[in-house]
Amino acid sequence: MLVQSNTSRYTQLLKLKAKELGFEDVGISKAAFLEDEARKLEAWLHQNQHGEMAYMDNHFELRTDPRKLLPGAKSVVSLSYNYFPGEHEQKPEAPKLAKYAYGKDYHKVLKKKLKALIQYLEQEIGAINGRAFVDSAPVMERVWAQKSGLGWIGKNTLLLSKGKGSFFFLAELILDIEFEYDGPVKDYCGSCTKCLDACPTNALFAPYQMDASKCISYLTIELKDKIPSEFQGKMENWMYGCDICQDVCPINARAKAHQEPAFVPKEDILAMGKQDWEELTEDVFEKLFEGSAVKRAKYAGLKRNIFFLKEK
C-alpha cells in the first residue's frame, strides 16, 4: 500500500484550499537566497531606474532572501488572483483608470484570504510559522511566481500566464514547512515586441528592461512631485496607472472576467465623462473611491494627473 508523504499531503491541502478561496494558480518554491536576482536588482538600483521609490533600495537582504523575513522559512508559496473586469469605462474621452483599481483595494481583499489559508493549514497540519504578503513588503513576487511556474516574466517585465494573460494580482506566503516544489515554465514571448512598441514614454526601453521612472503608473501614483513636462502629450489619457503594455499583449486575448464581487466597479466610476473628472470634488472622490487603492494617490494627486492630461 502506497503511503502519502507529509509533503505531498500538505501540498494537496494547500492547493485545494487556495483554489477554494478563489486563487487561480498556486506554485511553490524552496526558500533560498536569490543570487542572480540580487545582482540584477543591485544594477537596476544603481542606474536609478526606480525613480523616487526609495523603498526599493531599502531592506535589500530581506528582499533577496525570504529566510531573513521569516527565520526558519522553507517554502515560498506564490498565488495569483484574477482581476480582469467584465465591464469597462463607458466614455472614450474620459481619463482612464487602470483596471486593477476598479474595485476594492486588493491588498485588503487578498490579505484576508491569505490569513484564512494559513488558519486552515494550522487546523489541518498543526502549529506553523508563516507570513502573508500582498505587494506591500520586500518580496520579489514576480521572481518567485516565475520560479514556481505561475508564468514567465515577459518583455514588459510583468508575469504572463499562457492560458490567462497578466491581469492578475500576485500574493505570497512564506512558511516554515516543506511542500512539493514546482518549477518554471517556458517563455512564450517569442519575437513579439508589441508592448515595447506601444509604450508611449519609452519606459520599456528594451526587452525585459524597464525604467520605472518613466512608467505612466509610476508618474501617476508613485511620483509625488510635479509630473515632468517631458511627458506632456505622452500619457495616453491615463490618470491613474496604465494598462497599455497589457492591453496590446496577445497573451491577454485569453483573459477572462473575474468572479470576485469585491472587484466589481461602481457604476458611477464607469459612467464618468471627461468633464465629470475635471470637475471632481473631494467629497465625490471620497465616495467614489471608498475602500479603493486609488486613495493611495489622494484627491490632490488624482487632480494633478487629470489637469496634466488637460494641459497637453
Q: Given the C-alpha cell 510559522, which residue does it identify?
A: 129
What DSSP string runs through 7-55? HHHHHHHHHHHHHHTT-SEEEEEE----HHHHHHHHHHHHTTTTTT-GG
The reported pLDDT for the residue numbered 4 is 60
- pLDDT over 70 at 46, yes or no: no
- Per-residue pLDDT tens for 73-113? 999 999 999 999 999 999 999 999 999 999 999 999 999 99
Q: Given the C-alpha cell 484574477, which residue does it identify?
A: 82
Give, to the nearest 10 degrees, the angle between helix 106-125 and helix 6-20.
Answer: 140
The reported pLDDT for the residue numbered 153 is 96
Half-sphere exposure of 191 (CA within 13 A, CB side): 0
- Pairing of β 238-240 and β 96-97: parallel
The reported pLDDT for the residue numbered 66 is 87
pLDDT band at 65 (very low <50, low <70, confident <90, very high): confident
- Per-residue pLDDT tens for 108-158? 999 999 999 999 999 999 999 999 999 876 678 999 999 999 999 999 999
Provide the Cα torsion 296, 309, 249, 88; round to 10°: 70
Which residues have CB under 8 Å from 259's CB, separation 6+?
22, 82
- Per-residue pLDDT tens for 202-231? 999 999 999 989 999 999 999 999 999 999
Residue % of the chain over a pLDDT of 90: 81
pLDDT band at 40 (very low <50, low <70, confident <90, very high): low
Kindly report the average pLDDT of the chain as a whole number. 90
The reported pLDDT for the residue numbered 151 is 97
Catalytic residue selected from 57, 65, 135, 187: 135
Q: Which three cell numbers stand for residue 232?
A: 506632456
pLDDT band at 3 (very low <50, low <70, confident <90, very high): very low
How far is 219 from 235, CA to CA, in rounded Å? 9
135 is annotated as an active-site residue: yes
Q: Which three cell numbers stand for residue 41?
A: 536588482
